[in-house]
Amino acid sequence: MELADDLRVPTSPPDPHEAGRLAAKHGVVQILSPPDTPGAFVEFLSALGTLIFTDGETPVPGHPDLNVVTNVGRKTPPKSVFHSDTSYVPHPPSYSALIAIDVPDAGGATWFTEQYLAFETLPPDLQRDLIGASLLHGPSDVPVTEAQWHPLVRRNPITGRAALFLTSLARCRQLVLRDGTDRSDLIERLYTHSIDPRHRRQHQWRKGDVVLWDNRCTLHAADHSAVVGDRTLYRGMVEGEAPLPAHG
């Protein structure tokens, strides 16, 4: 399903706080009458909190809070699997947003999952077992001291709803229930359930589009499978709270 059917922020100029509330409710929103320059995009996002930048990304010239996402100059298509942005830090980004700078002639959509729904559609006994569980986020090639534990079932402070909070399999290292039982064997099942096509929406980009999502209740991935042409977007991220556990 395309986002534009029902997930839009209609006010002009767009109200960042209304956009944030809608993103928390729906996971992802497209901003109509969007900020039309990188500077205006930064200003829009800054209303939602402090912008953060992940080491290793490529900054946008003149806009050090933004990073470049592009297929230009790459010999092989970029790889993208469903993930939550930079989840391996104490305060992962609450919101991320992209502005489309160059849009390919074909392909290059971004997919979003619905992590409230992913939690709510688990069997009730499994939901009960997972409340209070913790997941260790971080690449497997870094020391465990540089990884970060977060609640697996996370309460979005805006909506109060519980969402399954995980990221790409390569960055989900260990799952421990509230009684200390290691259930890392569940990680793959929970990830596969999260990215089930029934829990997905996509956005097909047009030049100038701005899409905002709440990392607390979505996963996302780019579809690089059949891209024809240059695809360049700029991304900004807003620092979030230490993830809140959901109540039983």
Work out how close the CB of 222 gets to Fe ion at its nearest, in angstroms, rounded to a whole number: 8
Q: Which is nearer to Fe ion, 193 or 235 (CB)?
A: 235
d(CA 178, CA 108): 40
Is the separation of the CB atoms in 54 and 214 below 8 Å?
no
Size of the site for Fe ion (CB under 5 A): 1
Residue number of the CB atom closest to Fe ion: 85
Closest C-alpha to 204, from 228, 230, 229, 222: 222
Stretch that binds Fe ion, among 67-75, 81-89, 156-164, 185-193 (CB under 5 A): 81-89
Closest C-alpha to 214, from 21, 53, 68, 64: 21
d(CA 139, CA 173): 8
Candidate residues 41, 66, 85, 122; the one interacting with Fe ion per rule CB under 5 A = 85
The single-letter DSSP state of residue 90 is S
Site for Fe ion in 176-195 (CB under 5 A): none
Work out how close the CB of 220 gets to Fe ion at its nearest, in angstroms, rounded to a whole number: 6
Q: Which is nearer to Fe ion, 85 or 214 (CB)?
A: 85
Tokens describing residue 161: 């709803």
Stretch that binds Fe ion, among 77-85, 134-142, 144-152, 185-193 (CB under 5 A): 77-85
Chain residues in the site for Fe ion (CB under 5 A): 85
